[in-house]
Amino acid sequence: MPDRDLPEDLVLPLATGEPWWYWSGGRPAVDFANTRRERWRRGVETLVTPDDLATWFVRAGVMDAPAPVTRAVLEQARELREAIDALMVAQIEGRPLPTEAITLVDDWLVFAGVRPQLVLDDDATPGARLTERAAADSPRRALGMIALDAAQMLGTAQRSRIRICASETCSGRFFDRSPAGKRRWCSMRTCGNVTKARRHRERQKAGA
């Protein structure tokens, strides 16, 4: 759901943000930036608790199962999120990318790298086997994978597909995967339809 669907009487700060997550970003790094809702107005935090972050990782597909998240990791996650968002907005607006945000995302990339693991072999012969740990076997690894997704988006030609919803009452970020690259709204079903309906009413009123 887009930002416009946050109730006016929403009690802030939230006790948990899970009911207010939405998945219109098109990739993990953008969905992650969108966990701060209503950036255009109230700035609603939806990664409220460590459990929120653990659940979000699973819902986003960057972890297979929830893992314990500390308060310190939650704070680090929010810092990474804001760095990614600052880079996306600067890219969209054609401004120089903030150096401190680049550095922060880059610092997290080490957690996305290869992590070798030595385990007991599972065949009949006693011994060990060198393998690689799961793609996201810890909260910090999950954040590293999100940072990598952001780097792949911002550090390549994909950067031209980063968007902010054109609705006046939505600050949703999204990655435009449309063939023509001209998508304007985070969701056609919500913000797109609402905007078109409003413009239709305005034209009818002007005609009358």
Average pLDDT over residues 149-162: 97
pLDDT tens across 70-92, in order?
999 999 999 999 999 999 999 99
**Residues 46-65, mean pLDDT to the nearest whole number:** 96
DSSP annotation of 4 reads G
Two structure tokens written together for 158: 């994909």
Host H or E run for residue 9: none
Per-residue pLDDT band for 127 (boundaries 50, 70, 90) equals confident
The pLDDT, as a whole number, for residue 149 is: 97
Nearest to 73 by CA among 17, 150, 143: 143
**Encoding tokens for residue 189?**
């079903």
> What was the pLDDT predicted at 200?
44
What domains appear along the chain, each with residue ranges and CATH number? 3-112+138-207 (1.10.3300.10)
Bridge partner residues of 129 (DSSP): 119
Q: What does the DSSP 8-state code read for residue 118? A: E
Query: In this structure, are strands 162-164 and 173-175 parallel, antiparallel, or unpaired?
Result: antiparallel
Per-residue pLDDT, averaged over 129-144, amounts to: 84
Q: What's the rounded Cα separation, in Å, for the pair 162 and 25? A: 9
pLDDT band at 171 (very low <50, low <70, confident <90, very high): confident
Residue 124 pLDDT > 70: no
Arithmetic mean of pLDDT, 43-60: 97
Helix (H) or strand (E) holding 163: strand 162-164
Stretch 100-123: mean pLDDT: 89
Residues 6+ apart with CB under 8 A from 57: 63, 66, 67, 136, 139, 142
Q: Rounded to whole angstroms, how far apart are CA atoms 182 and 155?
A: 21
Question: pTM for the full model?
Answer: 0.86
